[in-house]
């Protein structure tokens, strides 16, 4: 454990930020899985709604610098293509 006051604060702040980053990353992955599940089950309306949520969560992760912009674009493109090719 650090002895200096500023170092103690950095430990607390970094722990809080790690928790927030984990939540953002986890929610992004969950949203992606929901879209994939809806596509697999053939529920077009549910997939379209889940896609909106997934796009929001992916953008939030990019803004927090947790995902690379190119990866985000690739994920959004693949999910959109999967939803649009459903019958």
List the chain pLDDT tens, one digit each, 87 residues.
Answer: 899 999 999 999 999 999 999 999 999 999 999 999 999 999 999 999 999 999 999 999 999 999 999 999 999 999 999 999 987
Sign of the C-alpha dihedral, residues 49, 52, 54, 60?
negative
pLDDT at 57: 98
Task: Tell me yes or no: is domain 5-84 CATH 2.40.128.20.
Answer: no
Helix residue ranges, H only, the chain: 5-41, 44-63, 69-84
Q: Supply 17's token pair.
A: 């930020």
Q: Are 25 and 36 in contact (CB under 8 A)?
A: no
Contacts of 86 (CB under 8 A, 6+ apart): 39, 42, 44, 47
Region at 67 (left for phi over 0; alpha for psi -120 to 50; beta for the rest): beta
Predicted confidence at residue 1, as pLDDT, reads 81
What residue segments make up the domains of the chain, in order of their start? 5-84
pLDDT of residue 87: 72
């Amino acid at each position: 454990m650090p002895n200096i006051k500023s170092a103690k604060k950095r430990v607390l702040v970094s722990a809080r930020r790690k928790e927030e980053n984990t939540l953002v990353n986890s929610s992004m992955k969950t949203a992606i899985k929901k879209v994939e599940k809806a596509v697999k089950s053939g529920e077009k309306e549910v997939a379209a709604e889940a896609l909106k949520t997934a796009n929001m969560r992916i953008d939030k992760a990019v803004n927090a610098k947790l995902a690379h912009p190119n990866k985000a674009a690739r994920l959004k493109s693949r999910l959109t293509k999967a939803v649009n090719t459903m019958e």
